Amino acid sequence: MKSTRTRLDRFMSRHLGIKRQKIRLLLAQGRILVDGCVARDAQQTVHQFSHIIFDEQVLQDHKPCYVMMNKPKGVVSATKDQRHKTVIDLLKRKDRYKLHIAGRLDFNSTGLILLSNDGRWSRELSIPENKIYKCYRIEVENPLDESYIRAFSQGIYFNYEGITTRPAVLNIISSHVCEVSLTEGRYHQIKRMFGHFQNAVLELHRQSVGNLILDQNLLPGQSRELSKSEINNICNIEGNVN
Protein backbone atom coordinates (compact mmCIF):
# COMPACT_ATOMS: atom_id res chain seq x y z
CA MET A 1 0.00 0.00 0.00
CA LYS A 2 1.29 3.40 -0.98
CA SER A 3 2.04 6.01 1.64
CA THR A 4 -0.69 8.63 1.97
CA ARG A 5 1.59 11.16 3.66
CA THR A 6 2.81 14.25 1.82
CA ARG A 7 3.88 17.84 2.41
CA LEU A 8 1.13 20.43 2.74
CA ASP A 9 2.44 22.56 -0.13
CA ARG A 10 2.41 19.54 -2.46
CA PHE A 11 -1.13 18.67 -1.43
CA MET A 12 -2.36 22.25 -1.96
CA SER A 13 -0.55 22.62 -5.29
CA ARG A 14 -2.16 19.42 -6.56
CA HIS A 15 -5.66 20.37 -5.43
CA LEU A 16 -5.58 24.06 -6.41
CA GLY A 17 -3.58 23.65 -9.61
CA ILE A 18 -1.04 26.32 -8.71
CA LYS A 19 2.71 26.29 -8.20
CA ARG A 20 4.06 25.41 -4.78
CA GLN A 21 5.80 28.77 -4.44
CA LYS A 22 2.40 30.48 -4.31
CA ILE A 23 1.24 28.29 -1.44
CA ARG A 24 3.57 30.15 0.95
CA LEU A 25 1.57 33.36 0.42
CA LEU A 26 -1.69 31.55 1.15
CA LEU A 27 -0.16 30.19 4.34
CA ALA A 28 1.08 33.64 5.39
CA GLN A 29 -2.44 34.98 4.85
CA GLY A 30 -3.87 32.31 7.15
CA ARG A 31 -6.19 30.94 4.48
CA ILE A 32 -5.40 27.24 5.02
CA LEU A 33 -6.63 25.22 8.00
CA VAL A 34 -5.44 21.73 8.86
CA ASP A 35 -7.43 19.84 11.49
CA GLY A 36 -9.00 23.09 12.68
CA CYS A 37 -5.72 25.02 13.08
CA VAL A 38 -4.30 27.74 10.83
CA ALA A 39 -1.38 26.21 8.92
CA ARG A 40 1.85 28.20 8.52
CA ASP A 41 4.47 25.63 7.53
CA ALA A 42 4.63 24.59 3.86
CA GLN A 43 6.53 21.44 4.89
CA GLN A 44 3.88 20.32 7.38
CA THR A 45 3.03 16.66 6.84
CA VAL A 46 -0.58 15.81 6.02
CA HIS A 47 -2.17 12.42 5.40
CA GLN A 48 -5.36 10.95 4.01
CA PHE A 49 -7.32 11.71 7.18
CA SER A 50 -6.15 15.30 7.67
CA HIS A 51 -9.11 17.69 7.55
CA ILE A 52 -8.03 20.47 5.17
CA ILE A 53 -9.91 23.71 4.42
CA PHE A 54 -9.02 26.55 2.06
CA ASP A 55 -11.07 29.77 2.20
CA GLU A 56 -13.91 27.88 3.93
CA GLN A 57 -13.90 25.25 1.16
CA VAL A 58 -13.32 21.70 2.39
CA LEU A 59 -10.60 20.09 0.27
CA GLN A 60 -10.37 16.84 2.23
CA ASP A 61 -12.55 15.26 4.89
CA HIS A 62 -11.91 11.51 4.90
CA LYS A 63 -12.80 9.51 8.00
CA PRO A 64 -10.82 6.45 9.05
CA CYS A 65 -12.80 3.21 9.20
CA TYR A 66 -11.97 0.02 11.09
CA VAL A 67 -14.18 -3.07 10.83
CA MET A 68 -14.13 -6.57 12.28
CA MET A 69 -15.88 -9.44 10.55
CA ASN A 70 -16.59 -13.04 11.45
CA LYS A 71 -15.49 -14.60 8.17
CA PRO A 72 -17.44 -17.70 7.13
CA LYS A 73 -16.15 -20.63 5.08
CA GLY A 74 -16.26 -20.44 1.31
CA VAL A 75 -15.55 -16.72 1.10
CA VAL A 76 -12.45 -15.21 -0.49
CA SER A 77 -10.27 -12.72 1.38
CA ALA A 78 -10.12 -10.32 -1.54
CA THR A 79 -11.75 -7.14 -2.76
CA LYS A 80 -12.85 -8.70 -6.06
CA ASP A 81 -13.18 -12.25 -7.39
CA GLN A 82 -14.83 -13.49 -10.57
CA ARG A 83 -15.85 -16.88 -9.16
CA HIS A 84 -16.49 -16.55 -5.45
CA LYS A 85 -18.11 -14.19 -2.97
CA THR A 86 -15.59 -11.96 -1.18
CA VAL A 87 -15.52 -10.51 2.32
CA ILE A 88 -16.14 -7.10 0.73
CA ASP A 89 -19.36 -8.44 -0.83
CA LEU A 90 -20.58 -9.39 2.67
CA LEU A 91 -20.32 -5.82 3.97
CA LYS A 92 -23.51 -3.77 4.17
CA ARG A 93 -21.75 -0.43 3.69
CA LYS A 94 -21.75 2.12 0.90
CA ASP A 95 -18.00 2.66 1.34
CA ARG A 96 -17.10 -1.06 1.28
CA TYR A 97 -15.07 -0.84 -1.94
CA LYS A 98 -12.80 1.76 -0.33
CA LEU A 99 -11.72 -0.76 2.31
CA HIS A 100 -8.85 -3.22 2.14
CA ILE A 101 -8.20 -6.42 4.11
CA ALA A 102 -5.72 -6.27 6.98
CA GLY A 103 -4.57 -9.90 7.18
CA ARG A 104 -6.20 -12.48 4.94
CA LEU A 105 -7.69 -15.86 5.77
CA ASP A 106 -7.83 -18.84 3.41
CA PHE A 107 -10.99 -19.72 1.49
CA ASN A 108 -12.15 -22.33 4.02
CA SER A 109 -10.70 -20.66 7.13
CA THR A 110 -13.03 -18.78 9.47
CA GLY A 111 -13.00 -16.16 12.19
CA LEU A 112 -11.68 -12.68 12.81
CA ILE A 113 -10.79 -10.64 9.77
CA LEU A 114 -10.11 -6.90 9.82
CA LEU A 115 -10.88 -4.32 7.15
CA SER A 116 -9.90 -0.68 6.99
CA ASN A 117 -9.16 2.30 4.76
CA ASP A 118 -6.12 3.12 6.90
CA GLY A 119 -3.08 1.57 5.24
CA ARG A 120 -0.66 2.70 7.95
CA TRP A 121 -2.71 0.95 10.65
CA SER A 122 -2.87 -2.24 8.59
CA ARG A 123 0.88 -2.25 8.01
CA GLU A 124 1.55 -1.90 11.74
CA LEU A 125 -0.54 -5.01 12.40
CA SER A 126 1.39 -7.07 9.85
CA ILE A 127 4.99 -6.20 10.78
CA PRO A 128 6.46 -9.22 12.65
CA GLU A 129 8.82 -6.97 14.63
CA ASN A 130 5.79 -5.38 16.32
CA LYS A 131 5.08 -8.79 17.89
CA ILE A 132 1.33 -8.60 17.43
CA TYR A 133 0.19 -12.18 17.95
CA LYS A 134 -2.60 -13.71 15.88
CA CYS A 135 -4.26 -16.61 17.69
CA TYR A 136 -5.91 -19.52 15.85
CA ARG A 137 -7.90 -22.53 16.99
CA ILE A 138 -6.99 -25.52 14.80
CA GLU A 139 -8.26 -29.04 14.30
CA VAL A 140 -5.90 -31.51 12.63
CA GLU A 141 -6.24 -34.98 11.14
CA ASN A 142 -3.69 -36.84 13.27
CA PRO A 143 -3.04 -36.75 17.04
CA LEU A 144 -0.81 -34.04 18.50
CA ASP A 145 2.09 -34.52 20.92
CA GLU A 146 4.86 -32.55 22.62
CA SER A 147 7.07 -32.62 19.51
CA TYR A 148 4.74 -30.10 17.88
CA ILE A 149 5.19 -27.66 20.75
CA ARG A 150 8.98 -27.87 20.50
CA ALA A 151 9.07 -27.54 16.71
CA PHE A 152 6.73 -24.55 16.62
CA SER A 153 8.68 -22.77 19.37
CA GLN A 154 11.97 -23.28 17.50
CA GLY A 155 10.60 -22.36 14.08
CA ILE A 156 10.08 -24.63 11.08
CA TYR A 157 12.19 -24.46 7.93
CA PHE A 158 10.39 -23.72 4.65
CA ASN A 159 12.54 -25.08 1.87
CA TYR A 160 10.80 -23.15 -0.93
CA GLU A 161 11.63 -19.73 0.55
CA GLY A 162 14.77 -20.90 2.31
CA ILE A 163 13.62 -19.41 5.62
CA THR A 164 12.77 -20.58 9.12
CA THR A 165 9.51 -19.36 10.62
CA ARG A 166 9.61 -17.15 13.68
CA PRO A 167 8.92 -18.88 17.00
CA ALA A 168 5.23 -19.67 17.51
CA VAL A 169 3.30 -20.82 20.56
CA LEU A 170 1.29 -24.03 20.32
CA ASN A 171 -1.04 -25.15 23.12
CA ILE A 172 -2.62 -28.59 22.89
CA ILE A 173 -6.33 -28.50 23.81
CA SER A 174 -7.17 -32.12 23.01
CA SER A 175 -5.72 -34.94 20.93
CA HIS A 176 -6.64 -33.25 17.63
CA VAL A 177 -7.26 -29.62 18.64
CA CYS A 178 -4.78 -26.91 19.52
CA GLU A 179 -4.27 -23.15 19.62
CA VAL A 180 -1.42 -21.51 17.71
CA SER A 181 -0.21 -17.95 18.22
CA LEU A 182 2.24 -16.37 15.79
CA THR A 183 3.44 -12.94 14.71
CA GLU A 184 3.90 -13.44 10.97
CA GLY A 185 1.63 -14.46 8.14
CA ARG A 186 3.42 -16.26 5.36
CA TYR A 187 1.55 -17.98 2.54
CA HIS A 188 -0.52 -20.86 4.03
CA GLN A 189 1.90 -20.73 6.95
CA ILE A 190 -0.02 -22.71 9.55
CA LYS A 191 -1.01 -25.45 7.11
CA ARG A 192 2.59 -25.73 5.97
CA MET A 193 3.88 -25.88 9.54
CA PHE A 194 1.59 -28.83 10.24
CA GLY A 195 2.57 -30.18 6.84
CA HIS A 196 6.07 -30.58 8.31
CA PHE A 197 4.49 -33.40 10.36
CA GLN A 198 2.38 -34.61 7.43
CA ASN A 199 -0.67 -33.66 9.45
CA ALA A 200 -3.53 -32.03 7.54
CA VAL A 201 -5.38 -29.03 8.96
CA LEU A 202 -9.13 -29.75 8.97
CA GLU A 203 -10.38 -26.52 10.58
CA LEU A 204 -8.68 -23.17 11.10
CA HIS A 205 -10.41 -20.37 13.01
CA ARG A 206 -8.76 -17.03 13.89
CA GLN A 207 -9.78 -16.00 17.40
CA SER A 208 -7.84 -12.81 17.98
CA VAL A 209 -5.35 -10.26 16.66
CA GLY A 210 -3.27 -8.66 19.38
CA ASN A 211 -5.65 -7.72 22.19
CA LEU A 212 -8.67 -7.73 19.87
CA ILE A 213 -10.88 -10.81 20.30
CA LEU A 214 -13.57 -11.78 17.81
CA ASP A 215 -16.98 -10.57 18.99
CA GLN A 216 -18.91 -13.74 19.79
CA ASN A 217 -22.17 -11.94 19.03
CA LEU A 218 -21.21 -11.74 15.35
CA LEU A 219 -22.65 -14.57 13.30
CA PRO A 220 -20.58 -15.84 10.32
CA GLY A 221 -20.62 -13.12 7.67
CA GLN A 222 -21.61 -10.36 10.08
CA SER A 223 -19.41 -7.35 10.86
CA ARG A 224 -19.25 -4.20 12.96
CA GLU A 225 -17.01 -1.17 13.39
CA LEU A 226 -14.34 -1.25 16.08
CA SER A 227 -14.64 1.06 19.05
CA LYS A 228 -11.95 3.67 19.70
CA SER A 229 -10.76 1.63 22.66
CA GLU A 230 -10.43 -1.52 20.54
CA ILE A 231 -8.48 0.34 17.86
CA ASN A 232 -6.10 1.94 20.32
CA ASN A 233 -5.55 -1.13 22.49
CA ILE A 234 -5.12 -3.77 19.79
CA CYS A 235 -1.35 -3.24 19.87
CA ASN A 236 -1.08 -1.88 23.43
CA ILE A 237 -0.88 1.63 21.97
CA GLU A 238 -2.93 4.38 23.55
CA GLY A 239 -4.23 7.56 21.98
CA ASN A 240 -4.09 6.67 18.29
CA VAL A 241 -7.66 7.64 17.49
CA ASN A 242 -9.28 10.83 18.71
Note if 106 is an active site residue: yes
Marked catalytic residue, from 106, 118, 145, 215: 106
C-alpha 170/C-alpha 105 separation (Å) is: 19
The candidate with the shortest Cα–Cα distance to 158, out of 125, 135, 199, 191, is: 191
C-alpha 213/C-alpha 192 separation (Å) is: 25
C-alpha 81/C-alpha 76 separation (Å) is: 8
Q: What angle do CA 206, 207, 213 make, to 5 degrees?
A: 135
C-alpha 199/C-alpha 68 separation (Å) is: 30
Residues with catalytic roles: 106
